[in-house]
Amino acid sequence: MAADSAEKARALEQCERDLDLAIERLVNLRLDPEHDAAPDINGDAIRHAPAAAAVPVPSGGGTISHAEWVERLMTEMASAADAGDARARAARFLEDFGASVAAACAERHGAALWENAILKKAVRLQHRLDREKAAANRELQERVRSLEADKYALSVHLRRARPQGGSMSGRFHPEVF
């Protein structure tokens, strides 16, 4: 876990000034095995995943597609001896299916929480960068105002220092000026 945090921190440091790159690197790290199947931030994995695929089975492990669930239900119902047995088999099947759906939802919830954490870090990073840029901008504006005031003061002093005629004649040596 500490190595995962170090890798995440290193990815954030490498991309400090580029928010999109930081998000992309963190998503591509996929450090936790439970998050290997997590969808991308933009949801492409959810849109491109087969709709009938992969609902984990709590008792047997692995995943079962929708067609396999239907086949399993048909097998259970066909092997029932009477209505009472069919009800018991249907109840057991529904419990397995419900547990499978709950496990899939928990996995997606975990992936969403992980992505949410990445987005929160990205927003904090962007907010910090915006504050730094605003502070630098204020500092530059202040410097510009100061330089403009200095320029005005120097131009006033220069006008006062010049003789009224505007020429450099008189006591000034022409080669010096």
Q: Which of 55, 45, 48, 162 is nearest to 115 (CA)?
A: 45
Q: Which of 63-72, 91-100, 167-176 has the weakest average pLDDT?
A: 167-176
Question: Does residue 50 or residue 34 have the better pLDDT?
Answer: 34
Whether 132 is in a domain gets the answer: yes
Residue 32 has pLDDT above 50, yes or no: no
Position 61 in a domain: yes
Q: Encoding tokens for residue 23? A: 């998000």
* Cα–Cα distance measured from residue 86 to residue 91, given in angstroms and rounded to the nearest whole number: 8
Distances (CA, A) of 72 to 58, 68, 77: 15, 6, 9
> For residues 133 and 94, what is the distance between their CA atoms, to the nearest angstrom?
57
Q: Domain range for residue 42?
A: 2-161
Q: Which residues, in sequence order, are CB contacts of 47 under 8 Å at separation 6+?
A: none
Whether 151 is covered by a domain: the verdict is yes
Q: How do residues 105-124 score in pLDDT, each as one tens digit? A: 999 999 999 999 999 999 99
Residue 51 sits at φ, ψ, to 5 deg, of -70, -30
Q: Is there a domain that residue 154 lies in?
A: yes
The string of DSSP codes covering 123-139 is: HHHHHHHHHHHHHHHHH
Q: How large is the average pLDDT for residues 23-41?
A: 53
Assess if residue 97 is contained within a domain: yes
Percent of the chain with pLDDT over 90: 44
Query: What is the per-residue pLDDT for 162?
Result: 80
Question: Is 60 inside a domain boundary?
Answer: yes
What confidence score (pLDDT) does residue 51 get?
A: 36
Within-domain flag for 89: yes
Q: Residue 161: its pLDDT value, please?
A: 86
Specify if 173 maps to a domain: no
Q: How much is the mean pLDDT over the chain?
A: 76
pLDDT tens for each residue of 134-157: 999 999 999 999 999 999 999 999
More confident residue, 123 or 175: 123
Domain count, the chain: 1
Q: What is the pLDDT of residues 55-88, one digit of tens each?
A: 444 454 557 788 898 899 899 989 989 989 989 9
Choice between 94 and 1, residue whose per-residue pLDDT is larger: 94
